[in-house]
Amino acid sequence: MEINNLAKEILHLVGGKENISSVTSCMTRLRFVLKDNSKAQQEKITEIPEVIKVIEFGGQYQIVLGSIVEDVYKAIIKMGDLQSKELGEDNQGTEASDNNAIKDKQSIIDSLIGTLSGIFTPLIPAMLGMGFLKVLCVILNVFWGITESNATYAILMTLSDSFFYFLPILVGWSAARRFDTNVGVSLVILGLLIHPDFIELLDTTSDVTFLGIPVSDVSYASSVLPAILSIYLLSKFELLLKKVIPKTLRSILVPFLSLLVIAPITVLLLGPIGDWGGRLITTVFTSLYDLSPLLAGALIGGTWQLLIIGGMHVVILSMVTIPNIAAFGRDTVIVTHAPGLICQCAAGLAVALKAKDPKIKKTAGSLTFSSFFAGSVIEPVMYGVNLKYKKPFYFALIGGAIGGAIAGASFAGVTAPVALSIYSLPAFFGTGFTGLIIGTIIGSLVTFVLTYVVGIDEEIE
């Protein structure tokens, strides 16, 4: 179906633009927050040939489309006149009430998951771009011996590292859009956290205080929770100010009072709390890894694809992998999920070879091929084949657990937040690389053999 016609059909079947509170997109799926999910005609949506899967998770109505998602997203934004909501412009009255209505229908967990996914999803392009820029630098260093003494190489490395350094700013920008608050004020508040003078003040002064209250010595580079907490509070404070300040004075007093109040609260309270919370989340994973790399690898490798279903994998990457890479130069914990991605392709390949129905063979083969050569963006084969027939997905989880255990036991690591693929292998060079490849091969073979031997129920088609 032509892109505009597909976008028009999806817009109609989710209940029209009047039923859309917000819409974003990630690498493979449209993520709607609908005012009334019951108005979405799910059966008709799933019958559209280009639709791979429909998922309701975390308060979001997600439509998996694969590589065409960006074009469809842009068409929907244009047709539905939704651009102002996506850009987070100042339409807070209507948007705030819509969001409150949505939250009333969600559980706290759903709302939290939906919020975090909504904040991190717009950062995926920057994350991928930075990741493959690091891969390029590794290639230049390993195969051509180029080091930071080369100015061009040094600039490329600095460019890739800027993602880590300015992560609070990037998160703050996305959070400001998500919470529908002033982007400029948000970035100024968070700019304080990574300003060289503020960092130097904490480093060179033993007891920094603000109005007599001690300021915690916290490094905010690569942190995410302080930014989210700060901008959430800012959004609520802005709404309060707009209720009590006359319209004629809002343009001056609202940003002035927001900076004057929220910035100190951030450095005195929310920043340290967010830093502690982020470290706690990271510690949960690293402690498991410290206890047993093999066990951690098996658990992460065997469950990671369940996180992908809900879109939570991006959140974990942002809150664990990126801080680990920023602090230690590589992540050895979450990287154990990598073999499981290739296992999904192995399961799809087995279906393509074992199935008797020519249509199933063609679909499984094309989705496996596209997922593998798209850089292990495995949603197409996972949703279009493995989850559809169930057994291949279960076997991919088993293979992922086996491969993850071997990768963990080998102390494999990654120097950039990229998925394991034929394009990103240099990011995995170093200690444990051989073990990672062995784990991937063994896990994929186990997945392939189990899927091929057991087969699928072709009547599901």
Active site residues: 26
Q: Using CA atoms, how far apart are residues 251 and 258, in angstroms rounded to an integer?
A: 11
- From start to end of 212-334, where are the E strands? 213-214
> 336 to each of 333, 386, 399, 413, 432, how far by Cα in Å?
6, 21, 12, 8, 11
Helix ranges restricted to H, 80-107: 83-87, 92-104
Bridge partner list, 22: 33
Residue 92 token pair: 């807070």
Number of Cβ within 10 Å of residue 227's Cβ equals 30
Largest CA-CA distance found in the chain, in angstroms, rounded: 76
The amino acid at 194: I
Q: Using CA atoms, how far apart are residues 449 and 324, in angstroms rounded to an integer?
A: 35
Residue 97 token pair: 């009430």
Half-sphere exposure of 277 (CA within 13 A, CB side): 13
SS3 20: strand
Q: What is the DSSP code (8-state) at residue 176?
A: H
Q: Using CA atoms, how far apart are residues 213 and 266, in angstroms rounded to an integer?
A: 13
Bridge partner list, 208: none
- From start to end of 208-317, where are the E strands? 209-210, 213-214
Q: Using CA atoms, how far apart are residues 323 and 29, in angstroms rounded to an integer?
A: 26
The closest of 365, 364, 338, 308 to 432, measured between CA atoms, is: 338
